Amino acid sequence: MESSNTSAVPSNPTVGSSNNGVISFDGCDSSTHHLPKIVQGQCGFVLEDTYHNPLQDNPSYSVVKRHFVNEEDTVAQTIVVHEDSPRGIHFRRAGPQQRVYFEADEVQACIVTCGGLCPGLNTVVRELVCGLYHMYGITRVLGIEGGYRGFYARNTVSLTPKSVNDIHKRGGTVLGTSRGGHDTTKIVDSIEDRGINQVYIIGGDGTQRGASVIYEEVRRRGLKVSVIGIPKTIDNDIPVIDKSFGFDTAVEEAQRAIDAAHVEAMSAEHGVGVVKLMGRDCGFIALYATLASRDVDCCLIPESPFYLEGPGGLFEYMEKRLKENGHMVIVIAEGAGQNLLSECMPNTDARDASGNKLYQDVGLWISQKIKDHFKQIDWVINLKYIDPTYMIRAVPANASDNVYCTLLAHSAVHGAMAGFTGFTVGPVNSRHAYIPFQRITEKQNKVVITDRMWARLLSSTNQPSFLDPETIEGLKKEEHKQT
Ligand SMILES: Nc1ncnc2c1ncn2[C@@H]1O[C@H](COP(=O)(O)OP(=O)(O)O)[C@@H](O)[C@H]1O
Ligand SMILES: O=P(O)(O)OC[C@H]1O[C@](O)(COP(=O)(O)O)[C@@H](O)[C@@H]1O
Ligand SMILES: [Mg+2]
């Protein structure tokens, strides 16, 4: 790739723009691909890929059939399309690029972890350090401690392949994490003062919004710094990517709690097991853990409203189920039924340091409601409430998440080395891609209850949908409009 511009700065790799001269996005056609390859992103940034990629001389990679991804390869966001529909949004394919922007000895990288814990954080840190070192010979990597505020309020730690060797076996993050404390000016001052030119930011939706603001400030100051987001979300609320690391581990751990609830419920007369799982605004963990377990009789998630009393309500279903089976298990996501809770509890509008709304404990609330109801109708029930949420978050990643973390970290390193910036890396339809921040931050991923997956769940638990036909029609129309 050539550049006509000598004052090179990293480019945004994947923005939906017709002026990048290489690939088309957002349905633009690709008729300009034969133009001179001056890579001009939407933001007017120019990539100058100055050096040859050392990966081609790396003995470990000598067997690889194709050393580099084709610069014109894209990953489609929507893969099932009607023949007449537009081409849709495409992202730049992640992977090693033929030419790189940085030479090894000029790189000063840093890594920060922000937001809530998630299994796999340490693996991503490890693989970033080892990937930078082993693939590109980069030895200067700093760990920023304690989340975003660590950029200006804490000392840094030096990370080497040796120091991170075993960390993937531990839960949590060796760097520490925090909520709040995002002071953009101080963060970018710190990046500038320390001579950092690659910033790897691991975190959830809030973190990616923070990363996007840092990227804007870096651009405004004209710094030659790559800002890369690595998506972390235990509850899978980040859009576009297939799923986040840690999600599989969380589902696996959630099943252990469901197993315990099932054993308790089965062993008692009219035993009821209630398990609360994470999922502030989306119920993916609850959905997948329920589907995987098959011991769950009812799964309640934020996306699907429910009610307790009257025909078609939860209590009616519970009575029927307890009569039939003698026991039952209910899984509830933390954000489910918050409308019902706010009816009977004062709405405090409490928020955490990052501005996320703090919800009341729906597990405790629903357990009490169930007990009250059965007392009223003179049924003896034995209810056990299990809240495994922090236990699920604190475990190390399982095998498949560990491998996934490695791919994510390596894709991030390849993108940064190529001089790309302002993107989050992640799998889109099973292919790793570079996704501009704004695509990740513009909306939240939710369980679509008009999709077949939710129907599968309803059919496996046999629970009521709690929806009347009119609401279902309305939801379908809404969904149709959005696609
Ligand atoms: N809109 C935003 N702009 C800048 N920083 C943000 C924004 N939202 C969140 N952050 C910062 O991102 C970090 C993590 O956010 P948080 O919501 O707690 O976790 P997560 O990234 O896991 O969703 C916090 O330090 C927070 O201050
Ligand atoms: O008590 P904390 O650490 O604020 O975390 C609680 C929250 O963290 C989460 O596990 C995940 O949130 P994030 O991934 O957005 O950080 C939520 O499900 C939960 O409400
Ligand atoms: Mg979040």
Q: What is the DSSP letter of 230?
A: E
Residue 2 within a domain: no
Substitution site in 245, 278, 285 for ligand 2 pocket (most atoms within 8 Å of beta carbon): 278
Residue 354 within a domain: yes
The percentage of the chain sitting over the pLDDT mark of 70, rounded to a whole number, equals 89
Distance CA 289, CA 249 (A): 11
Query: 408 with 381, same domain?
Result: no
Would you say the CB of residue 150 lies under 6 angstroms from ligand 1?
no
Q: What is the DSSP letter of 397?
A: P
Per-residue confidence (pLDDT) for residue 387, from 0 to 100: 98
Q: Which atom of ligand 2 is nearest to the CA of 280?
A: 18
Residue 5 within a domain: no
Number of structural domains, the chain? 2
Reported as a pLDDT band with limits 50, 70 and 90, residue 482 is: low
Query: 193 with 298, same domain?
Result: no
Ligand 3 centroid from CA 332, angstroms: 19
ipTM of the complex: 0.98
Residue 261 has φ and ψ, to the nearest 5°, of -65, -40
pLDDT in tens, 137-161: 999 999 999 999 999 999 999 999 9
Would you say the CB of residue 49 lies under 6 angstroms from ligand 2?
no
pTM of the model: 0.90
Cβ contacts of 343 within 8 Å, gap of 6 or more: none
61: nearest Cα among 95, 32, 27, 107 = 95
Per-residue confidence (pLDDT) for residue 84, from 0 to 100: 81
Residue 199 within a domain: yes
Q: Which domain, by its residues, includes 121? A: 19-244+397-441
Query: 303 with 410, same domain?
Result: no
Is residue 37 scored above 90 in pLDDT?
A: no
Residue nearest (by alpha carbon) to ligand 2 atom 2: 116
Query: 414 with 475, same domain?
Result: no
Query: 374 with 227, same domain?
Result: no
Query: 40 with 81, same domain?
Result: yes
pLDDT in tens, 328-341: 999 999 999 999 99
Query: 258 with 145, same domain?
Result: no
Residue 11 within a domain: no
Per-residue confidence (pLDDT) for residue 8, from 0 to 100: 31
Radius of gyration (C-alpha) of the chain in whole angstroms: 25
Residue nearest (by alpha carbon) to ligand 2 atom 16: 116
Residue 8 within a domain: no
Would you say the CB of residue 205 lies under 6 angstroms from ligand 1?
yes
328 is an annotated ligand-binding site residue: no
